[in-house]
Chain A
């Protein structure tokens, strides 16, 4: 494998030019295109120099997974196949990543849960696989509706977890995600989440980079642990189990490795800040009422803020972009003036509000809601009314923006 920098400016077999990623993302011309979220995933992967993509059907990610199959047929991806279950797919992704490939896959809801055993294995083995999570309900009775419960389970796997708000986020973050997760001091898998259907099945204007420019290829020899391709001498301690019969050394070895995985999550912070321009976005930082959200709840919050401003109520917003690493310092700073912090969420348990409460001083300021679940939409008026009810303001029942 040639050094990454030596291939910049050369062409791949499809005629795409390997481009310096910073220039690609920040300087290359952009073309506005009207695409669904699934189509945007395909367009990002077209430019991502992926070696292997493994697919399995589950709504709402099936469309994206199938579209990437078309990319394989066109010759943009080294290999592509359908696995037999989500557990198998994530294992196949692991095998490909162990072998030094840049790997991509997509998943959703119950499939993510079926595959769950793999995720701490991925991070423990330091495999920089990128997995798109198009969230949907996970519990019985069966549902295919959007819901963000599976994100709560991913938070403690040792993976990087980002939560995209829009298809534009998706396009940019898929490409930037590889740049962060493949850094030698990080080298961890990335769960790039979005709210299924709301993002995957709606069309939006997305500014795309040129299709004839792509990311430089992955260099597996920058991995902090050996790549399993027999191109370096085998060593006695690789990614194998520490002999796990009871002894203090094996406990200590394993414990220190777990700490190293989480230290790597922390080390991703500086790279994520560089590529995402901060782990959070803040609007009206000095407002006494703040909304803190991730995913499409951010869009709903923006609209709620506009409605409140029409009535003279000033409200700020924190958009959380990365859930792991968790932007602890940034959130403390952004909410230091807030007397009330509302956390709108698309799930029944309120995991984001819990994270927030564990982060800031005086957490009685946190109002864990409004929440919708089971795939329901969250009209901005629900957020407005939650704020007004809590603060004792006169409620408005006008459904603004709906022609009423």
Chain B
């Protein structure tokens, strides 16, 4: 979408909602170097949300949206869960359809956009919880990877069905006592990052969202690789503090505790060979671009 399309007619400017005025005045659309540091200075793609106070998912949402390399031409696909409460407040097109079918929706969407805009970059990003990604939607998650669909899948892993009140999910830790797991969960946390790698994903990361710069890096990598090469997968720990018995201020510490080297969200990254090559090329181009900009600034 051209940024021109969101320009408000001068005659109508004062009667437009402030959301639109702000989007035109200080949106991050069209800025190549946008990132999490713009939060607070530039108009964000999300301002308010209806999640619980201190919810790590709300932090993740902000970092992700601030890091999308091409938000003016990105469509996001969500699924049933707490994410579907936030998506109506996000300033990119987003689709909520059913529970678990997000990767199927994204497959059709990406292909339609490729047919309709063969010479343009249109990114598709899936963002859903662990229930949608790993349980009810696992078939469609995997099949999209097998088919090498060119979009990024992000799983907000909070290790349970949070939106419905804390029931057992496939990504829950073994032994955790939850609703519908009255004697503790009987099987191990599903190893989806490994499965993603084996299923054909070219970039797989398992981490928490405690560090915004890290989230920014993996989002940009995932979207660029999906655009050029094939499917990518990010599994981000966004604990539901409500359901694991933490206070509003304890979400960040919970993530820090879980990302220690021996813990289940210690940073893990897999990059396929073609993806490594692409990232190197992108880094070289970026360096060149920044050097040129610096030189230009020097001359001025």
Contacts and interface: CB of A to CB of B under 8 A. Distances in A.
Interface string B111-122: 111111100001
B241 interface: no
A234 B91 contact: yes
B264 interface: no
B84 A240 contact: yes
A118 B98 contact: yes
Interface string A93-107: 111111111010000
Interface stretch (A136-144, A156-164, A224-232, A302-310): A224-232
B88 A96 contact: no
Contacts of A118: 97-98, 101
B143 interface: yes
Given A232-B1, A234-B91, A240-B87, A121 B98 contact: yes
A99 B89 contact: no
A88 B149 CA distance: 14
Contacts of B191: none
Given A79-B114, A99-B116, A230 B87 contact: no
A237 B88 contact: yes
B109 A230 contact: no
Interface string A79-93: 101011101110111
Contacts of B95: 95, 98, 228, 239-240
A125 interface: yes
A87 B92 CA distance: 26
B104 A230 contact: no
A236 interface: yes
Nearest to A118: B98
B10 to A, nearest CB: 17
A1 B6 CA distance: 18
B19 A236 contact: yes
B112 A101 contact: yes
A125 B77 CA distance: 14
Interface residues on B, range: 35 or more
Given A91-B140, A118-B98, A240-B84, A228 B93 contact: yes
Contacts of A238: 88, 93-94
B113 A229 contact: yes
B5 A231 contact: yes
A84 B117 contact: no
A103 B116 CA distance: 12
Contacts of B139: 84-85, 88
B105 interface: yes
Contacts of A355: none
Given A93-B108, A99-B109, A81 B143 contact: no
Contacts of A92: 104-105, 107-108
Contacts of B112: 51-52, 78-79, 95-101, 103
A392 interface: no
Interface in A223-257: 226, 228-234, 236-241, 243
Contacts of B5: 231-233
Interface string B1-38: 10001100000000000011001000000000000000
B111 A96 contact: yes
B60 to A, nearest CB: 19
B167 interface: no
Contacts of B101: 87-88, 91, 94, 118
B85 interface: yes
B73 interface: yes
A261 interface: no
B74 interface: yes
B75 interface: yes
A85 to B, nearest CB: 7
B72 interface: yes
B77 A95 contact: yes
A87 B143 CA distance: 13
Contact of B20 (A95, A98, A233): A233
Interface string A24-48: 0000000000000000000000000
Contacts of B294: none
B108 A97 contact: yes
19 contacts: A52-B115, A83-B104, A88-B140, A91-B98, A94-B105, A95-B111, A98-B105, A101-B108, A229-B75, A229-B116, A232-B5, A233-B6, A234-B90, A234-B91, A238-B88, A240-B88, A240-B94, A240-B96, A241-B96
Q: Which 3 A-B pairs have the closest CB atoms?
A: A95-B108, A99-B112, A78-B115
Given A84-B139, A236-B88, 19 more contacts: A52-B112, A78-B115, A81-B111, A84-B140, A87-B104, A91-B105, A92-B104, A95-B106, A96-B111, A99-B75, A100-B112, A103-B112, A228-B93, A228-B95, A229-B75, A230-B122, A233-B1, A233-B5, A238-B94
Interface of B: 1, 5-6, 19-20, 23, 50, 72-75, 77, 84-85, 87-98, 101, 104-117, 122, 139-140, 143, 147
